[in-house]
Amino acid sequence: MDRVNKLPIVFLDRDGTIIVDKVYLNDPKEVEFIDGVIDGLKKLSENNFKLIIVSNQSGIARGLVQIENLNEIHKVITETLKKHNVEIFRIYYCPHLPQDNCECRKPKTGMVKEILDFIDKDKSFVIGDKESDVEFGLAVGIKTIILSNREISTRAHFVARNFKEAVDFILSSIKYEK
């Protein structure tokens, strides 16, 4: 596939990155976007990035999150964003426990293996709040951003104090023509 057909993608962790981490969120009514996220996602969309959520959801395997509720949570997220002209291109999640050693749990890339050949790696990023998000991005071969408001040891390309700072880093890092 030639470069023209490759997509600039921003992979987004879900809990603690775009919505408040409620620890095994199982109630769609409790979805709460983190301040600045909707505006940031809108900027990314306006700059032609495809937005993809990638999330480890071991609450399913633990019996703490029902799959119907997870689907409804994702529906709330996508419909809320759609009202702001933001489209989530895809949502991928891993339902397994860490000890299951599956291929889909971040930092492994099995969750997104079907689209790996379509990623414009020079213009793609991952934003997350854990080192496993950073390791996932490095495994995919893209730039990584970790959200943290304190000093941390990380392999990320950039540490952002908030989502706005992450988006500003992305937009200043690329020379992307619409």
Q: Kindly list the catalytic residues.
A: 13, 15
Give how far Cα 160 sits from Cα of 7, 15, 88, Å.
24, 16, 22
H/E run at residue 46: helix 37-46
Its sign, for the CA torsion 137, 138, 141, 143, is positive
Local structure of 12: helix, strand or coil: strand
CA distance 136 to 119: 14
